[in-house]
Amino acid sequence: MSLSEHRLLGLSSAGFHRIAYAQWGRPDNDRVLVCVHGLTRTGRDFDALAQALEARYRVACPDVVGRGRSDWLPDPELYQFTQYLTDMAMLVARLNVDAVDWVGTSMGGIIGMLLAAQPNTPIRRLVLNDIGPFIPRAALEGISEYLGKAPKFDDIGAAADYLSQVHSGFGPLSREQWLHLARTCTRADGDGYRLAYDPGIAQSSSTRPEDVDLWAQWDRVDCPVLVLRGAASDLLSPDTLAQMKKRSPKRVDSIEFQGVGHAPALMDEEQIAAVRDWLWREDA
């Protein structure tokens, strides 16, 4: 294991904020993979994937602002994709490379897609984990049921129990895997633990339940794409995936995992191998 922890400065209209990121692999490796997590998660969700890929990549796994070890913003309305894109551009600059490959789960996939749609994008290859250019309002309403709540847990085991309920779509994880996720997404709070994300995220207009339509941005993505889908996902429908391929038939591969919803946790060997084999095949 070669995990190291780093920070960089981001800038919003409210001033500077610190962005934390975990890094795996040789620090001088110019082949870089950026892995970005879902709405309330942290970069440590990718520990298993990063360990599997660090022999070939330097893997950077940021905590998006408002999550994990990164700072919280003073105004919830600042939690917008424009801010996330700016912060991730700062991360790429810090990594000091001309191009990166990108793995994004849910929100992290949207960030990657929006960056990949920009002129002169540094994103060379894009893995979208259970996310696409269209998200129905009904699916977002399900997320809003737990978003913004700040439960307190007596111990890490209780936090793992909670995560296994609200994130059951991750799939049939082992007890140790749920405990790992609980350890890396909570903060000590007095005599207990709380989830390490700003409940104010729920107040941002970017998280209000309504259809998300990013087809115009998707049409500008011009790099190879791998789409992962949980067979029981409600955020990425088979129809949306079919439309993604229809609009971009030469650059979209897809893999569906049975027994999984939103979103594949990328912690078991089958899922890790799918990402690794695609990235390494494209690297040949």
For the residues of 178-195, what is the DSSP string, one character each? HHHHHHHSEEEETTEEEE
pLDDT of residue 235: 96
DSSP 63: -
CATH classification for the domain delimited by 4-134+209-283, as one of 3.40.50.300, 3.40.50.1820, 2.60.40.10, 3.40.50.1980: 3.40.50.1820
Are 23 and 60 spatial neighbours (Cβ–Cβ below 8 Å)? yes
pLDDT of residue 147: 87
pLDDT of residue 282: 67
To 5 degrees, how large is the angle CA 65–CA 212–CA 267? 55
| Distance from C-alpha of 128 to C-alpha of 109, rounded to nearest angstrom | 5
Would you write out the chain's pLDDT as a tens digit for each of its 284 residues?
589 999 999 999 999 999 999 999 999 999 999 999 999 999 999 999 999 999 999 999 999 999 999 999 999 999 999 999 999 999 999 999 999 999 999 999 999 999 999 999 999 999 999 999 999 988 888 888 788 788 999 999 999 999 999 999 999 999 999 999 999 999 999 899 999 999 999 988 777 778 899 999 999 999 999 999 999 999 999 999 999 999 986 779 999 999 999 999 999 999 999 999 999 986 64
Are 134 and 242 spatial neighbours (Cβ–Cβ below 8 Å)? no
For residue 251 the two structure tokens come to: 């650059």
What DSSP line would sit under 10-61, residue for residue? EEETTEEEEEEEEEES-TT-S-EEEEE--TT--GGGGHHHHHHHTTT-EEEE
pLDDT of residue 148: 79
* Domain boundaries of the chain, sorted by first residue: 4-134+209-283
| Distance from C-alpha of 23 to C-alpha of 44, rounded to nearest angstrom | 10
Beta bridge partners of 227: 128, 254
pLDDT of residue 140: 87
Model pTM score = 0.96
pLDDT of residue 54: 97
Are 203 and 148 spatial neighbours (Cβ–Cβ below 8 Å)? yes
136: phi then psi, degrees, rounded to nearest 5: -70, 150
| Distance from C-alpha of 35 to C-alpha of 57, rounded to nearest angstrom | 12
